[in-house]
Structure 1
Amino acid sequence: MTAGLWTVTASIAATLNAANGAGEHERAMRLMKVTEEAGEAAAAYIGVTGQNPRKGTTHTPADVADELCDVIIAAAVALHAFTAVPPVVLDAKLHAAAGRLNAHTHTESE
């Protein structure tokens, strides 16, 4: 299912490169976009919990999920600016994280 992620984000990155260039400033902007989207996800979660008494409950869990998808997309687009092989880099990181979790889980259960 995520195989399309890399095709689509490569296309988005290419479009951004054509419009904005691919220099250091643009790389920084793409990185900051990840932070912006993460902030929107956090704000949506605050809205789910009603943590802000002035606003009350303003969001749903589906809104948080939607914002988290935006974080993933922004991160995938940004990753294209930092490596020529984003799927390989993410796959290696994913398996390394899973390996650490599995090692930690086995250590605790022994």
Structure 2
Amino acid sequence: MDDATWNTIGRLHTWLAEAATRPPREETLLRILKLSEEVGEVAQAVIGVTGQNPRKGTTHGWQDVQDELCDVIVTAMVALRTLTPEAAEVFTTHLQRVADRSLDGTGPAA
């Protein structure tokens, strides 16, 4: 992720922190739980794309799924920033570990 992305995440974090009305620990827990809500919206969009609810039929498009996935990513990034001001570094380090173990040539695609 580039600096502009993390700068925007920092601004969103600040905006949420300034609007907070609960004790800090509760705000942090609720921000993390917000991920479950967003993932549920992805599932709802996929169900809507595939028409799996016969009562409702096809209610969403793949663009809706993409938008909801983006909401999950943003929400996770803000939650990570809530836990640590070094969110960008934490993410970059973790992504490198995932890439190292997944793309080292020994996985299923090798």
TM range (shorter): 0.7 to 0.9
Map 1:87-106 onto structure 2 (within 5 A): 87-103=88-104, 105-106=105-106
Deviations 1:14-70 (A, max 9, x none): 111112167100001110111111110111011111111111111111100000011
Whether 2:29 is the aligned partner of 1:28: answer yes
Quote the RMSD (CA, aligned, Å).
Answer: 1.9
> Percent identical across equivalent pairs?
41
Q: How many residues align?
A: 109
3-state SS, counterpart of residue 81 of structure 1: helix
Structure 1: how far apart are the matches of 2:107 and 2:35? Answer: 34
Q: Which residue of 2 aligns with 1:57?
A: 58
Q: Which residue of 1 aligns with 2:18?
A: 18
Structure 2: how far apart are the matches of 1:80 and 1:65? Answer: 23
Whether 2:8 is the aligned partner of 1:8: answer yes
Structure 1: how far apart are the matches of 2:64 and 2:89? Answer: 30
3-state SS, counterpart of residue 84 of structure 2: coil
Deviation at 1:95, TM superposition (A): 1.1
Instruction: List runs of 5+ in structure 1 lacking aligned partners.
Output: none
